[in-house]
Amino acid sequence: MAVAFDEMSGLDGAVRPAYAELKRWLDEIPPDLLIRRHKEAEFIFRRIGITFAVYGEAEATERLIPFDIIPRILAAAEWKLLARGLEQRMRALNLYIRDIYHRREILRAGIVPEELVFQNPVFRPEMNGQKVPHDIYVHIAGIDIVRVDADTFYVLEDNSRTPSGVSYMLENREIMLRLFPELFSRHRVAPVENYPDELLASLKSVAPASATSDPAVVLLTPGMYNSAYYEHSFLADKLGVELVEGRDLFVRDAVVYMRTTQGPKRVDVIYRRIDDDFLDPLAFRPDSALGVPGLMSVYQAGNVTLANAVGTGVADDKAVYSYMPDIVKFYLGEEPILRNVPTWRCREADHRAYVLEHLGELVVKEVHGSGGYGMLIGPGSTKAVIEAFRAKIIADPNNFIAQPTLALSTCPTCVAQGIAPRHVDLRPFVLAGRDRVRIVPGGLTRVALAQGSLVVNSSQGGGTKDTWVLDR
């Protein structure tokens, strides 16, 4: 693997302009200050309960999400490029999903294979021909970005179902403002605190035509045992909307109502953090106790907006991802601003042959995998693990894609030994409303805290950083 690009020092060791003031500050402060502030941050996170449940462990234990107190910094020009690319990507995703459930022109053109859509377990036949308010399917996207040099950003994933992590972006900024006011005073950092206002404005803008002038918005959660429940309650509070579970809502005369102490109240927009399968036991899984019986009938009648729409998973699996450059060109007639990572689809014989021959050099992912699970990172794996993956690919090639092992950029990170480079990615949150696409400057930077690790997911021991976009 190539030498990683360090976002503070570049490849030649010269401090890059965006990091110049941070480097001066790090050189000036007493050595034990970072240790003390790191402990303070950990105390604050523990006190306010910022945790992440890790499934698969005994009793699904909750962990404190590690937080690194050295910010990741992006220059204004770098962010401008990213924002343009993210907006372009969001427009293409929405056009693609609408087309898949209506005219299917991209399938007739032979650009995306039909079987990749119709055999996809997250394709929803119930959405065929279904109109959604304002033709917007993905209202909130978390588009994962990685960087390999000073000028090159890649999209790693398009999360278009129920992307999480924005609460950590907001909490990270609040804690940094509290702990390092002197460092903020030396920079002009673009704000992220207005994200809840932007999200609420986007959600209200996509209310159905039958809604009142001030649409009622709720946030639908699976409940307190969900790994992201902290975020659900945090966002509902910041948005000033009710946090509801399925049992708090009911359907009557093709309208959704919320139970309140003052009687039933109509609901116009549901920001749902529940997967499609569990939304409505009458339409999907009959054993679901999390959803609202009859919700899909209201949706089909056009009397409620679901954000994100049902069926958006057809746009964010890792096989469809490999077609995104063609999808952007097909719908927008533009070259993609942000690159895709080169991807081999194991479902195709020639791709599969290459992958099997080069397993030790590649990253292999499950098509529907998430959270860093089910991955092979060839260069860091044993022969036994590689051979086990070889057997999995041969047994079920449709379930895997492979990509080169990118030298993800690094950022200075506070670790036990002092300050050291660690690999990072970035999840900006992109909002699509009726009027425009909104993107707050920054996002959630995830950091692989283990030396040499490329896996940044919280479920795999990764941490987070505050992301500063310089406002000039």
Percent of the chain with pLDDT over 70: 95
The two structure tokens encoding residue 96: 């693609």
pLDDT single digits (tens) 58-67 = 444 566 788 9
| DSSP per residue, 259-326 | --TTS-EE--EEEE-S-GGGT-TTTS-TT-SSS-TTHHHHHHTT--EEESPTTGGGGSSHHHHTTHHH
Mean pLDDT, the chain, rounded, equals 92
Specify the pLDDT at position 59: 47
DSSP one-letter code for 242 = E
Is the pTM of the predicted complex or chain greater than 0.75?
Answer: yes
Cβ 283 vs Cβ 300: under 8 Å: no
DSSP 10: B
Give, as one character, the DSSP assignment of residue 71. Answer: E
- The mean pLDDT of 24-41, rounded to a whole number, is 90
Does 357 have pLDDT greater than 50? yes
Residues 6+ apart with CB under 8 A from 225: 53, 60
Q: Would you state the structure tokens that stand for residue 398, as one six-digit string?
A: 């449709």
pLDDT at 63: 67
Place of tokens 């409620």: 304
Residue of higher predicted confidence among 370 and 419: 419
If you average pLDDT over residues 402-412, what whole number do you get?
A: 92
**Packed helices 324-332 and 76-100: angle between N→C axes, nearest 10 degrees:** 80
Residues 105-118: what's their mean pLDDT? 96
Of 84-88, 195-199, 240-244, 460-464, the one with minimum mean pLDDT is: 460-464
Higher-scoring residue by pLDDT: 407, 248:
248
Q: What is the pLDDT of residue 61?
A: 56
Question: What angle (nearest 5°) sits at the alpha carbon of residue 429, between those of residues 126 and 81?
Answer: 120
The alpha helices in 29-113, defined as continuous H runs, are 33-48, 76-100, 105-108
Confidence band, pLDDT 50/70/90 cuts, at residue 337? very high
User: Position 306: which residue type?
Assistant: L
State which H helix or E strand residue 68 sits in.
Answer: strand 67-74
Q: How confident is the model at residue 459 (pLDDT cuts 50, 70, 90)?
A: low
The pLDDT of 433-456, averaged and rounded, is 91
* % residues pLDDT > 90 (the chain): 79
The interaxial angle of helices 166-179 and 229-239, nearest 10 deg, is 70
Whether 171 shows a pLDDT value over 90: the answer reads: yes
Q: Identify the pLDDT of residue 275.
A: 95
| Confidence at 52, pLDDT banded by 50, 70, 90 | low
Query: Are the beta carbons of 251 and 257 closer than 8 angstroms?
Result: yes
pLDDT confidence of residue 226: 87
Predicted confidence at residue 460, as pLDDT, reads: 66
Q: What is the pLDDT of residues 411-436, one digit of tens each?
A: 999 988 889 999 999 999 999 999 89
Determine the pLDDT at residue 98: 98
Task: Give one word for 278, left, alpha or beta, with left for phi > 0 and alpha for psi -120 to 50.
Answer: alpha
Does residue 326 have a pLDDT over 90? yes
- The H or E element that residue 447 is part of is strand 444-447
In the prediction, which pLDDT does 451 show?
86
For the residues 448-468, what does the mean pLDDT come to?
Answer: 83
Which segment of 18-27, 198-207, 366-375 scores lowest on mean pLDDT?
Answer: 366-375
Nearest to 305 by CA among 204, 430, 159, 160: 204
Residues 229, 230, 233: CA angle, nearest 5 degrees: 85
Using one digit for the tens of pLDDT, what is the confidence trace for 196-241? Answer: 999 999 999 999 999 988 999 999 999 988 888 989 999 999 999 9
Position 298 confidence tier, pLDDT thresholds 50, 70, 90: very high
- The residue written with tokens 């999209």 in the block is 155
**Predicted local distance difference test score (pLDDT) of residue 308:** 96
CA-CA-CA-CA torsion sign (125, 87, 333, 145): negative
pLDDT of 455 above 90: no
Q: Write the pLDDT tens digit of every residue in 128-156.
A: 999 999 999 999 999 999 999 999 999 99
pLDDT, position 51: 61
Average pLDDT over residues 256-276: 97
Q: How many CA atoms lie within 13 A of 178 on its CB side?
A: 13
Residue 408 CB neighbour total at 10 angstroms:
21
